[in-house]
Each structure stands twice: as structure tokens, then as C-alpha cells.
Amino acid sequence: MSYRIQCTTKFDITATGTRNRMVRNSMPYVDLAGNDITDDTSWQRSRNQQANWETVNQLVALRTLPENINDPVYNVDSATWSFSFEIPDISAIGTADNMFYFIECDCTGVPMISGLCESVDTGTFLQSQAADPNIWFNRLR
């Protein structure tokens, strides 16, 4: 049996596909999110969005091998990005008392790049166990 998990965050984790170093002769181009990359500033924002996406993926993969990962989607109403993934064993990311305890601990305190396309103050670190978390998980049915 696999478990479908949703991750939601206030940080911009747009999957842009912009990786590695900037190559000026490859510009202009359109990244995977549909952004026009025409100069240093647009490239840096696209790269930072992708870096945040990669960071969250790495955190999820610390304890289990996620499968069927969806690209993040921005929700205008809640000003959050969310994506879902499947895992084969829910005990890999939590305990009987807290289904997401381990993954929440792994995420807490991890630095993120802010000031991208967020419309709320996120801080500069992931906080999953705070009174006002900026990343959280829930099980989808």
C-alpha cells in the first residue's frame, strides 16, 4: 500500500528547471514555469525558485524514496505552493503519535531563499513545528 502525501509551503518552490551556472549565450529562453529569462535578474530568480524546489525534494527523500511527485502548484487564495508524492511506508516519516514527526524535524531550521514571488513573510528558514509553520504535510485520501 502506498500513501499519498501533500506538502504545502509559503516559500516559492516553483519548478523552473533552471540549473547550474548561467550561460549568457543560452538567453533568452523560457523556463519550465513559463518565465522569460532574458537577463541576470530573471535568471537568478528562476534559479533560486528551482533551488528551493530541489531543497524540499531532498528533505522529503532523506527518509524514503518518494514516487509520483507532482510539480508544485501555486494557490493564489492561500499564497502557498503545494505538491504531492507517494511513499510506500508511512512509518518512515513519522511515529504513531505524529504521522509526520520525522519529516517535520528534518525540515525545521533548513535555510531557504526568500524574497522571490512570496506575498507573505516567510522568514529565511523552514519551520514546520512552529505556531505559524511555513511548511506542513498532510495525508491525501
pLDDT score, position 1: 81
In a domain, 53, yes or no: yes
Domain that holds residue 125: 3-16+49-140
**94-122: pLDDT as tens digits:** 999 999 999 999 999 999 999 999 999 99
In a domain, 36, yes or no: no
Domain of residue 85, CATH code: 3.30.70
* pLDDT mean over 7-25: 91
Is residue 38 scored above 90 in pLDDT?
yes
In a domain, 41, yes or no: no
Report the distance separating Cα 90 and Cα 50, nearest Å: 27
State the total domains in the chain.
1
In a domain, 93, yes or no: yes
pLDDT score, position 22: 77
> In one letter, which amino acid is 12?
D
**62-84: pLDDT as tens digits:** 999 999 999 999 999 999 999 99
In a domain, 88, yes or no: yes
Report the distance separating Cα 53 and Cα 47, nearest Å: 10
